[in-house]
Amino acid sequence: MRPLETRVLYGVKLYRFDWVLFITTILLCSIGLINLYSATYASQFKNYFANQLYTSVVGIILTFILALLPTKFIMRTSYLFLGALVVPLFLVLLIGPEVHGAKRWIMIGKIGLQPSEFGKLVLILALARYFSDYPKMRGYALKGLWFPMLVTLACAALIVLEPDLGTAGIYILIFAAISMLAGVRKKLLILAIVIALIAIPLAWKFGLEDYQRERILTLVNPERDPLGSGYHIRQSIIAIGSGKAFGKSYLEGTQTKLQFLPEHHTDFIFAVLAEEWGFFGSLFVILAFAYLIYRLFTLATLVPDRFRRFALAGIGFYFFFQTAINIAMTLGLFPVVGITLPFFSYGRSSLLTSFAAIGLAINFASKRYMFED
């Protein structure tokens, strides 16, 4: 049936644990924890650091479990999981507790989980299987893409209802990026661009709430609303800028300690890092993230089949979008959206999802062409 299969199999190593990926992860997670301690040690309300530490331990265990699962099992169950994802996404809307006007959590006892976070990985796996099941040499036309697109949009739509535009956006970006990687016919590409050009002004006018428009406008002109949404960006930029080359040193940040950012332990955690560790400290972290992403894409080119390839690339895109959008947001380059910085932001679901992503990546990267090493 597929004549080349045997030849390929001969050149494949059976199992290989990617320590590089694992150690980079542990490094980022450690710096993240140290940084979170500084951001929250003065809090009287909650022991953020301890919570995050416990979650990290669970996360590392999760990494190993996922790394050792049979790849075939993951691939076979990927559609099942995507179908199952719809249930918690609906449940969140029905019975989820409302926090700051959004219903994003499912409570399991006292533990709140965000299905939309874990859903990012579920989507990646399902898309990887789709592009593996239906390979196209000369790129995909609308005929080959409408179904996964519809599924992605359906998930994104449920998340928009929470409302969580940022996360819904990540879903669409992940779909778009994996599709592009798989190859899209020129006709469809032009069509997509045209639709986007028409949709954006319409969405601006009808799809966004006032506060969301305001966030985008303040990006263009931060002085526009210095007490409202512009205030956070402005304070975040002051915090980052005031760190200068070497930072104000650990636990000595003044901007971030004074509670000017209500989300300084979640969405704006990078500002704490940049203020205390300066340009070189934050650049180091950015480079570590960049290396992690680079490694994921490199591994994607080394694995022997399409499922592994697209899954690894998808995880690479996941880390890229999260990291780039979050940091760009704190730097005032992107509108304020609720997207976390992996391993740095406080949050159980976000942290566990990042660890799970690494676990899956190690799993997929375990089988490689020998001659590439």
Q: Tell me how crowded residue 189 is: count the other CB atoms within 10 A of its CB.
A: 13
Report, in Å, the least distance between residue 265 CB and another protein. 13
Residue with tokens 């893409």: 145
Report, in Å, the least distance between residue 161 CB and another protein. 29
CB nearer another protein, residue 8 or residue 370: 8
Distance CA 135, CA 35 (A): 44
Report, in Å, the least distance between residue 299 CB and another protein. 10
Report, in Å, the least distance between residue 77 CB and another protein. 18
Report, in Å, the least distance between residue 58 CB and another protein. 27
DSSP 3-state of 227: coil
Task: Find the farthest-apart pair of alpha carbons in the chain and give their distance in angstroms, rounded.
Answer: 66
Measured CA distances, 332 to 75, 213, 271, 283, 328 (Å): 39, 15, 11, 17, 6
Report, in Å, the least distance between residue 218 CB and another protein. 16
Residues lying near another protein in the complex (CB under 8 A) are found at 1-2, 4-5, 8, 42-44, 134-138, 177, 180-183, 227, 231, 235, 237-245, 252, 254-255, 257-260, 274-275, 278-279, 282-283, 286, 290, 293-294, 297, 300-301, 304, 306, 309, 313, 320, 324, 327-328, 331-333
CB nearer another protein, residue 155 or residue 240: 240
Report, in Å, the least distance between residue 320 CB and another protein. 6
DSSP 3-state of 46: coil
CB nearer another protein, residue 145 or residue 293: 293
Asked if residue 179 lies in contact with residue 145, where contact means CB atoms within 8 angstroms, the answer is yes
Per-residue exposure over 143-156, b if at least 16 CB sit within 10 Å of its own CB, e if not = ebbeebeebbeebb
Distance CA 115, CA 108 (A): 12
Report, in Å, the least distance between residue 232 CB and another protein. 11
CB nearer another protein, residue 214 or residue 275: 275
Residue 99: which residues within 8 A CB-CB, separation 6 or more? Answer: 105
CB nearer another protein, residue 135 or residue 207: 135
CB nearer another protein, residue 302 or residue 360: 302
CB nearer another protein, residue 52 or residue 255: 255
CB nearer another protein, residue 30 or residue 249: 249
Report, in Å, the least distance between residue 237 CB and another protein. 6
Measured CA distances, 197 to 150, 194, 200, 205, 220 (Å): 20, 5, 6, 13, 19
Residue 107 β-bridge partners: 112
Asked if residue 37 lies in contact with residue 49, where contact means CB atoms within 8 angstroms, the answer is yes
CB nearer another protein, residue 55 or residue 255: 255
User: Which has the closest alpha carbon to 200: 188, 211, 192?
Assistant: 192
Tokens standing for residue 355: 């660890």
Distance CA 36, CA 343 (A): 10
Distance CA 17, CA 20 (A): 9
